[in-house]
A and B are shown apart, each in its own frame.
Chain A
């Protein structure tokens, strides 16, 4: 079984709709991250969480919100989706002092 899972894997939605992307991990890691991947830009950090009570904005948080429901679950929401939020979204986890981040399989989101 995968250590980091994301649902859904693919989603097509319309402008103005609210969308939630979910991430779950069985690695027991405290730290979780949401990244966005656009062609030619690599991955960029949206939000990160060091534990259930700690949420921090990344470099491109506008238009997004997150919820850390439990140590193992970290959700990303688009309150009112817009077409330029069409991208591939990745969740990742890590546990200090280790420095390796483990990624989920990604969610491809298309906003029409």
Chain B
């Protein structure tokens, strides 16, 4: 079974600075999808960025980018120019593309709480 680990329960960064959140995962599959979700105090789960494992190019969405290291099974999220609105819990998630029982379910890490200091 796949597992996702986020080893940083809490992180903090100064406003306008850059922060990197870590995520590692364990799988025997060669093709899969990885996601970062943001959960602000409103509790809503918001998709931040996604990465297909077969793509070598790292995904980027405005101030958010990932460092995808497939061999190391690492998928970190970099937030540039941090803003107060970035404060939230961030979850890394894995999804298998194979149509098996439980397929397309997301396997989540434990989350990292990010604080932005003004």
A16 at the interface (CB under 8 A from B): no
Size of B's binding interface in residues, CB under 8 A: 23
Residues of B within 8 A of A42 (CB): 4, 91, 108-111
A-contacting residues, B1-58, CB 8 Å: 4, 9, 33, 35, 37, 42-45, 47, 50
Q: Are A88's CB and B95's CB within 8 A?
A: no
Segment with Cβ contacts to A, from B59-67, B74-82, B97-105: B97-105
Inter-chain residue pair count (beta carbon < 8 A): 56
Q: Are A99's CB and B104's CB within 8 A?
A: yes
Chain B at the A interface: SS class: loop
Size of A's binding interface in residues, CB under 8 A: 26
A31 at the interface (CB under 8 A from B): yes
Q: Are B108's CB and A43's CB within 8 A?
A: yes
> Given contacts A40-B110, A42-B111, A100-B50, are A108 and B43 in contact (CB under 8 A)?
yes
> What is the interface of chain A, defined by CB distance below 8 A to chain B?
31, 33, 35, 40-45, 48, 56, 58-59, 88, 90, 92, 94, 96, 99-103, 105-106, 108
